[in-house]
Each structure stands twice: as C-alpha cells, then as structure tokens.
Chain A
Amino acid sequence: MKRDFIFGGSVGILNDIKIENMLTNLGSLLGHEKELKEVLVKNPSIINYLIIDINTDKEDLIEKLFEGLRLEDGKLCIEPSRLVLAGKQLEKINCESFSEIENLELPYSKIGNIREIKEKFPNLKQIILPELNNKRATQEDIGDNLRNLLEYAEFRNFVQTGDLGDVSAIRKFITKENLDSKFIISSNGKTLINLDRIGEKCFEEQEVISIDLEEFKKLDKNLLRTSANPYSIVINSVKDLSLQEIKWLKESDVNISSIEIFDKYNSKEQSEPYTLDEYIAIREKMEEIVEGIDLNLNEKQRFAEVYKRIGKNIVYDTPAAYPLTEQEKTYSNKESSNCRNLKNGLLLGKCVCAGYADILRNALALVNIESIYMTGGVKEKIIDKDSKEFDKLSKKYSYKQDEDGKITFYDGHAWNKVKLDGQWYNVDATWDASEIRNGKNPKNVFKSDKGIEKDKKFFYLPQKIECLIDLDSKEIDEIFNGKHLWIGNKKIPNFKDILGTVKQIAEEYRDLGSLIYRFGSKAKDKIFPRKKEVKLLSEPKETVNSKETLKSWDLKNWNVDRKSISQKIETKQESIAKPKESNVRDENDRE
C-alpha cells in the first residue's frame, strides 16, 4: 500500500500541501489536535485517510487525542471510514473511543485472538495487514492468523495480504475445511474476499481487488457495479479469456482495472497486471501466432509451428538484458518487467528469455498443449571460495555456494517444459530464435533434464516434473520439416516412407518368391519324382563289340547316296536365305 506520510510534522504544513494519506505519530500529533481539527473541518478533502500510529500504552493520552478531535456535537471531525488506528500497543490498551473505530492496521503477529479484537472494537469493519518490511512471514503466521480472521466472518469485504513472497503458503492454509463458504481467495493470494460484502467501500479506494475469472463470473453483477474498488481479473493463461470476452468486460459497467496472468510457476514479472487495452492488443497478437494451425495435427507438429513463428518474429532485446549506455540502462530499468512478460515480445517484437518463455507457454495453451515456465541459471564459472576473481565476477553475475564450498557464478535464465504426447521435454525458445530466424531447425528442443546439464543449465527449484527423454537431431529435423506425423511416440509414415517400404517389401517378396520357387521345385521333385530314364539300347542285349558298332554307324557302310543328300542340303540352305514373299508387312515398312 502506498502512503505519503509525515512523521512528527507540524500540522501547519497541511495548509499548503495536498496529500493523499496522512500518517502521523501520536506523539507529534498531541498538542496539535485543535489545529488538525480546524484544517479538516475547513478542507475535509485535504487528506483521504488519517492513520494514527499508537506507540504508547498511556491510555489517557489517547483519550486526550480523541477529545481534541471531536466537534461540538461530540462527533469526530473525520469520518470513521477515513480514520485508521495502527500500532503495536493497541492490544494492551483500552479506550472508550475505540467503539467508534472501523479500521485497524495490525501486523500479522498481533492478530492473535480475533474475538478479543472484536470485543475491543465492536464496530470494526476492516483489518489491514501490512507488508512485513523485509521479513518473510512464516507459514505458521499466515495460517493461524488467517484462520482466525475467517472466524470473524462479519468484519469486511476483503483483507489485503500484501506481498508475502510465497503466495502458495497462503493457499495451503486456506483449505476447504477452514474456509467459510462466503470467502474466496484469489489464485495469486492477494485478496481474500467476503462475498457478502463485496460491494462495500474499502479502506483505500485505489486498492485493487484481485479475483479469479471463474469466481468473478459467478458474482452478482449488480453488486459488482456498486463496488467502489476496481477489480483485477486473474487468469492462468490467455486461453482463459478470449478477445470477445475481454471486449465484453470492457464494455460492461463493472470497474475492471486490469488482467493478471498468474501461474504458480511464474516469476513476478509474468504476474504484472495488464490494462484491458494492453490485454486486447496482446490477445490479438496471440491469435496471429496460432492463426491457421490445425488443431487436428499431432501435438509435436502444432508445437513446432508455434515455436517457429515465435523464433522467426521475436528478436532478443540485448539493450534490455545488457545495457551499455545510460539511456539503455534507463530503458532496461523501465522495461524490466515488460521485456520479461507478454508485452514487449508481442507488441514490440523483442524481449529477453523470460519473455520468450512466457509467450511460448501462453501460445501453446491456445493450441491445447500443456507447458510450464521454468527458471534457472546458466553456469558461467566455478571458482574456489578464496579466489581473487570473486570481486570481479560478483559484479557481473549472480552466484551461489555449492555443497563442496566452491562458488558458482551464473546468469539467470528462463525456458519451458512442454508436454507432448505424454512426454515432458525441455525447450529453449531464446536459444533457438537465432537458428530459426536463419531458416535452420532448432537444436535446443526435446531435451531431458540430464540433456540440459550439458548446456550448463540448472534449475532454481527441485523439479517435480521430470524430462527423461532426449530426441536425436534426426527426429527433431523430421518434426520441424513437417515430414512426419506422430501418434504418441510412433511416427505415421508419409508417401516417401510408404514407397520405400513397398520397395523393400517387393525385394523381400522377390527373394521370397525365388525361395518359394526353389523350395517348390524341390518339393515338386519330392511330390512328383521324375521317372528313372531307361537307357534304350538300340541293339539287342548282347555284348556288342564296340569297334564293330562304330563301324556299323559309318555311312560308308550304308550305301548312302551322298550326292543327293548334299544337294538336298544346298537346296534347304538356299530356301532359308531367300524367304518366300509374304503379304504381311514388316515393321520396317511402317510409315
């Protein structure tokens, strides 16, 4: 909560200064009550709230203060809704005027027994729990105190929890069992809302009530319209709130100030709220990224298309990450969040690693692919504890001490884990943007947790979702070249694959055919054995004198007319050389 406050300042200053809130120490206020009363009566709008910090246990001083602030009719010179009591001593003291107090500001540790507080402040409507000033609340603090507040179901619209550092700790202690049915808590843990009193005015009108979209949709719109405080709608990704819905919300008369995209894995930058107009512009760009992607395609194909489009069209914003000039440093500070969430990457076409990761997560949600935003580091150098390089490196990099006592210097980095066809993989859109822009296939996709260790990457937090599989470069190329569709982890063959397979099968069949032929022949021989050849003897079965046999075959002994035979042969030869004329045309005669 923002305040402008004056500690120990003179009341006389109020005449010349327009301030929004005023916090004043009781000690400095004492003796000036009449002056303060005069200013407040003459110019009631000069301050919005008077916050009185009680640091004394002297009850008479407090009584004196309230007496000084009363008008002739006994009423306080400031409306009870604009008066806030704060301070550690409040639990110890009592004062009759406490019955008029509607607003208390108490640290977590002082909530204690809410019933006692209720008895002391019977008209209490609101308890404000401020930030803990660099001290992270323990889970016990949050759990017990909030549980106590939930018992006090009457008291107000909502309680602002402030920045507690670990939002998930709050939700752990607000369970269905201890949550009153009329209270809801936003997913980012910022706001606890009493649904019965949602329309009532809150302590600070500028304070925004965070509420999840689903809960928001259930609320009575008439109540919402009367609420004096603006609302911030909390969603998990851009998929939850379409362009049409956001335009309708904008046109409705409910006071909606912003959209927050909150995911438990997000860093703070991703949770920065967007104005409605910014969200509309962002959502339009998201539609461009996924335009024309067929949702019937396999998950790996859809992922590849989204990944390529982001890599091709979003440039790494070097000045934001590594500012060199004073102007760049100013730019870097100013755009620190915007280059790490959806805004700059989509609207300006440039961002750093966190922006790539956030855009990828949200774009994949639109094509029904689950992914998470990961944060970690990339190791630069490891040195010994006493190394002289420590001073130089510590100015440039973050560092951590390892278990073995060595110091690892690293740069913070963000990437994604993506679930495709039942498997989780690490993917790094930042590192692949250059490759994709140059028309090459990415190399930092589909990696296991062990695989990214080779890139010197490590996770900030222990991993509940493990990536166990690495795809090789050939498989990655196939996915990004669009050559294959995949079902689960199996590829669907394309035309070339099928042709290749047919050829292979044909060869196998040919081999098989020849095998069958050979087998068949042998089988046939077995089935139908050949009859044994009977050697026919031209001569009677008597021993024949071979010499005489040969002699008998000699033509000389046959009285053959050799001349007639040779003539017949010559005639035959001539007839072969000169064929008879034929009516059938030769091929050569064709025109």
Chain B
Amino acid sequence: MIENKYLKKAVEYKVGKFLGESLTSEDLLNVEELSLSNVSFSGEKRNIDLLELKKLPNIRKLDLQYFNIDTETISMINMFRKLDSLQLASCDFSSNEVLRNIALRSLVFNSCRIKDYSKIFAPQILTVINAKNIRLDDLQGIENVEVLNLQNSIVKGMNRTLECKKLRKLNLDGSILDNEEIIASLPKEVEISKKDKYLPVR
C-alpha cells in the first residue's frame, strides 16, 4: 500500500481511519484531497517520497509544504487527470518539465523558490505570494489567466498583464512592481486591489 508513514497517516485522516486501520485500494481511489508537509511542527524532516502519490490517481486538490518539486514530481503532477487545485508552500520549484496540467484551475505558490518561471503554465487562477522575483515575462499561458494574485512580492514584467484578455481580478497587495503605471492601462472591468500591505483576514 503506502510505505511512508506520514503519507499513510495523512491518507488515513482523509478517509476517516484515525486509529490506524488498514487502508484498502478503494480508500486510495477515494482520496480526492490531500495536504502534506515534509516537515513536522517541531522541525523534524520527514523525507516523504512524493512519487508515492501516484497511488492516489483521483486526487483533485493537493497541498504540499517543504518539498523539492523536481522534474519527476512535475511529470507525475501533470498526469493527475482530475487535479483541479495545487498549492505549494515553502517548496523549491526546479524542474526541466513545464508544470502544465489540463485539469488544473488554480495554482498557488506561497513562499516558494521558483528557479525558472518559464516552466510554469498559468492556469485560470494563479496566486504567487512572498516571492522575491516574479518574472511574468517568462510565464507561459498568461493570456488565459482570469484571476491573478501577486501578493507581497517583487514583480517584474507587469507589461504582460495587458495580454491577459480574460483577466477579471488582479490583486497586488503588498507588492513592488517594475511598472506601476500599467495598472491604469488595464480595462475598467478588471477588479484591482493594490494595498500597501498584504494582510489576510476572515
């Protein structure tokens, strides 16, 4: 079944088997959402092999923290047919293959180190938070983006937002832009937020 004990526990929580009862093949097929961290609260590294996620083919929503997202991992992620939402937090994104999954609607990078933005194909909702150097110039598929959240980051290539014909919402809270004037050039229909600070509430 699943070899890594932390991944196994995460799956057990998801299917409601809190007492360590055996997982069945059906359980693995039923997992649609999974949140996984490669580091414990106390800082202990877990060394989870992400490739074991292949055993969860029906996953729709995947949240990963503190992982190295390499080429092999991206290849696997691209194969998930039902993956609708992917959130990466504190991950190192360094892949030779483009992250492009047809089913993907929402992609979030939170405090990630992204080596090469050209290896990202933007889905309809793209969120990048706490990035030191967002290079919109290199981003693929930006013309399809409907919601663009670039918060608490340094953003380069703002001119490319003019190519986003489907853009409905643009959130730039707390970010420093290479070209502030572009905002005024965007269509009025686009809902824009540009606060001094990124301060989530609710």
Chain A positions within 8 Å of B, measured between CB atoms, are: 277-278, 280-281, 285, 288-289, 291-292, 309-310, 312-313, 315-316, 318-319, 321-322, 324-325, 327-328, 347-350, 352-354, 378, 411-413, 430-431, 434, 437-438, 455
Contacts and interface: CB of A to CB of B under 8 A. Distances in A.
Contacts of B169: 324
A411 B193 CA distance: 15
Q: What DSSP secondary structure best describes chain A's contact surface?
A: helix
B65 A349 contact: yes
Contact of A285 (B16, B18, B19, B41): B41
Contacts of B140: none
Contacts of B105: 325, 327
Interface in B142-199: 147, 149, 152, 169, 198-199
B1 interface: no
Interface of B: 13, 16, 18-19, 35, 37, 39-43, 63, 65, 84-85, 87, 89-90, 105-106, 108, 110-111, 125, 127, 129-130, 147, 149, 152, 169, 198-202
A353 B111 CA distance: 18
Given A309-B42, A315-B65, A411-B201, 9 more contacts: A280-B18, A315-B89, A316-B200, A348-B63, A350-B87, A352-B201, A353-B200, A431-B200, A437-B111
A434 B198 contact: yes
B200 A325 contact: no
A309 B40 CA distance: 9
Given A315-B110, A437-B90, A437-B130, A350 B201 contact: no
A291 B106 contact: no
Contacts of B201: 321, 352-353, 378, 411-413, 430
A277 B106 CA distance: 32
Contact of A315 (B16, B42, B63, B125): B63
Nearest to B40: A288
A403 to B, nearest CB: 24
B89 A431 contact: no
B67 to A, nearest CB: 12
Nearest to B127: A318
26 contacts: A277-B16, A277-B19, A281-B13, A288-B41, A309-B41, A313-B37, A313-B65, A315-B110, A321-B201, A321-B202, A322-B202, A324-B125, A324-B147, A327-B105, A328-B106, A348-B63, A349-B63, A352-B201, A353-B202, A412-B202, A430-B200, A430-B201, A434-B111, A434-B129, A437-B89, A437-B111
A325 B198 CA distance: 22
Contact of B37 (A349, A430, A431, A437): A349
A309 B39 CA distance: 11
B125 A325 contact: yes
Given A325-B125, A353-B202, A292 B42 contact: yes
Contacts of A350: 35, 63, 87
A347 B13 contact: yes
Contacts of B127: 318
Given A313-B37, A315-B63, A437-B130, A352 B42 contact: no
Given A281-B18, A347-B13, A313 B111 contact: no
